[in-house]
Amino acid sequence: MKILVAVKRVVDYNVKVRAKADGTGVETANVKMSMNPFDEIAVEEAVRLREAGKAQEIVAISLGVAACQDTIRTALAMGADRGILVETDAELQPLAVAKLLKAVVEKENPDLVILGKQAIDDDANQTGQMLAALLGWPQGTFASKVELGDGTVNVTREIDGGLETVALKLPVLVTADLRLNEPRFVKLPNIMKAKKKPLEVLKPADLGVDVAPRLVTLKVQEPPKRQAGIKVGGVAELVDKLHNEAHVI
């Protein structure tokens, strides 16, 4: 079995994101970047499946600028066998990402594709579902448990009412939720080994995909600072202020 895992380079989750002064986006210059946390979970799940003897090869793929190679190398250090970078300086929106991944899936023919359920930069939560639709594959989204069988996979997924388990036939697309696993700590020897693992670089034109943005960001700005609260003397005063000042009741 071959597993394809998509990984995205995002602003590190420990960094406070700030809008650019001109409002064109968020500041990324001299900002620590790392792998999207949900994608780390996806890579970890793929590695665990291979360690259990249920997969033979893991391919990590990223899309974006040349610096995304660092994100792929992290996935390789975690245990992926080889990497693919679709290099472009264009702004990649979810549909363009899904189309690029579809082209790579058709090229690589994996049995299982695992993505993080969403990226922490745009929180779109769209790419996995779009990719499954484009491929015509069954999908198990928000997965908290993945069990591979003989040509099938059972995915326990988190829904509003609790948990739901779906039985799907391979090939399958899965998006990883927070509670699927806890990613391993990458050791230095594995980081050094990752530098020698193969990494293929492609362009969107090589895959025949138009990545021109369909949406335009007009302005990015930080939310206004929250005003200080006030103390009230009792329920009557609270109700009065909610009714006459806040106009919420």
- pLDDT reported for residue 161: 86
Q: Which among 101, 96, 93, 90 is positioned nearest to 59, based on CA atoms? A: 101
Residue 28 has pLDDT above 90, yes or no: no
Q: Where are the beta strands (DSSP E) in the chain?
A: 2-6, 9-11, 33-35, 57-64, 82-87, 112-116, 139-148, 152-159, 162-169, 172-176, 199-202
**Comparing C-alpha atoms, which of 82, 50, 74, 67 is closest to residue 186?**
74
Q: Provide the 8-state DSSP code for 90.
A: S
Write down the mean pLDDT value for the chain.
Answer: 94
CB 141 within 8 A of CB 157: yes
Q: Chain centroid to CA 62: how far?
A: 10
**29-43, 124-138, 189-203, 220-234: range with lowest mean pLDDT:** 220-234
Contact 25, 220 (CB under 8 A): yes
Q: What is the pLDDT, as a whole number, of residue 129?
A: 97
**What pLDDT score does 246 carry?**
85
% of the chain at pLDDT higher than 70 = 100
Average pLDDT on 171-193 reads 95
The widest CA-to-CA distance across the chain, in whole angstroms, is: 70
Average pLDDT over residues 228-246: 90
Could you give the 3-state DSSP secondary structure of residue 99?
helix
Q: What's the predicted TM-score (pTM) here?
A: 0.88
105-159 pLDDT, tens per residue? 999 999 999 999 999 999 999 999 999 999 999 999 999 999 999 999 999 998 8
**Span between the terminal Cα atoms of the chain, in Å:** 59
Band of the pLDDT at 224, cuts 50, 70, 90?
confident
pLDDT tens digits, one per residue of 146-179: 999 999 999 999 888 889 999 999 999 999 999 9
Tell me the average pLDDT across 183-195: 94
Backbone angles phi, psi at 71, to 5 degrees: -65, -40
The helix (H) or strand (E) run that includes residue 88 is: none
- Which residues, including other chains, have CB under 8 Å from residue 90's CB and lie 6 or more apart? 96, 204, 211, 212, 213
Pick the CATH number of 2-244 from 1.10.10.10, 3.20.190.10, 3.90.1150.200, 3.40.50.620: 3.40.50.620
> Looking at residue 78, what is its pLDDT?
97
The pLDDT assigned to 23 comes to 87
pLDDT greater than 90 at residue 36: yes
- What does DSSP assign to residue 17? P
